Amino acid sequence: MSSLAELRLIEEERVAAERAALVAAEETRRRDIELAQQRQRDQEARRVQADRDAALALEHARVQAEREIRMQAEVAEAGERARHQAVLDEQRLAQEMELRRAEVARKRPTWMVAVTAFAVLASVGSSAFAIDRQRAIDDAVAAKQVSERDRQAARDDARGSRQELEAVQAALKNLENRVTAALVEVKKAQDAKDLAVAAANLRRINAENAAVQDRIDAKAAKDRHDKRIEKVKILDECKHNAFTKKCLE
């Protein structure tokens, strides 16, 4: 009987061990399934988040590119307004010069009478007066030579300014071509990284474009100032001598 009881006990222990093993295996399988499902959910969540982040980055880059395009258009419009204003200033200055020439022309007969009277007095004047007049003529010739040198220097400056302006305009044309190419790159960008690179390139080109435009505006302002100074000098000379070639033109 004891042997039979021992055998039964051994059998019960074996059955219990097998049942425990089955339960443990089932628990392990269930836990593995849950872990796999959790990993799949995590991967899906990360994929959705990555897609959302990429879409947001792409939209942000597109907004930045559009802002850069608008800024470029505003800069071009401001430059056009400045050029138009420069043309208006030039026209107004030309009109003022024309009015002053007309005023000098109206006063010219009085000057002619004065010169005639002076010539009569000079013809009967003393030799000392003739000497003084000769000195005045020498001074006038010297002043004319200085004026000729000034005009030659002004022409040289104008030639250099024109060459510099042509170089700046060529650089501006090159920048415009680069801006067009950058905009094409922005439109062709397939992802956020490419679009960010294209937008950065566009910002750098726009900065160079703005610098060149500032140089053009500064050069135009300097040229307008130099022209005004030159015309004021001509007017001052006309006040003292209305018969010079510059005043009769």
- How far apart CA 186 and CA 200 sit, in angstroms, is 10
What would the pLDDT profile of 190-200 be if each residue is shown by its tens digit?
A: 555 666 666 67
pLDDT of residue 107: 63
How crowded is residue 212: how many other Cβ atoms within 10 Å of its Cβ?
19
Q: What mean pLDDT is predicted for residues 153-176?
A: 67
Q: In terms of residue numbers, what domain contains 95? A: 2-248
Taking CA 230 as the corner, what is the angle to CA 155 and CA 136, rounded to the nearest 5 degrees?
100
- How far apart CA 52 and CA 46 sit, in angstroms, is 10
Highest mean pLDDT among 5-9, 55-59, 193-197: 55-59
* Confidence check: pLDDT of 8 > 90: no
- How far apart CA 124 and CA 89 sit, in angstroms, is 51
Between 9-18, 121-130, 185-194, the lowest mean confidence (pLDDT) is in 121-130
- How far apart CA 111 and CA 104 sit, in angstroms, is 10
- How far apart CA 60 and CA 196 sit, in angstroms, is 9
* Confidence check: pLDDT of 189 > 60: no
What would the pLDDT profile of 80-104 be if each residue is shown by its tens digit?
A: 988 899 889 888 888 888 888 777 6
Q: What mean pLDDT is predicted for residues 141-159?
A: 63
Which amino acid type is present at position 25? A
Whole-prediction pTM: 0.32
Q: Tell me the chain's radius of gyration from C-alpha atoms.
A: 46
- How many domains would you assign to the chain? 1
What would the pLDDT profile of 199-232 be if each residue is shown by its tens digit?
A: 677 677 777 777 777 777 777 778 777 777 776 6
- Which parts of 124-191 fold into alpha helices (H)? 127-188
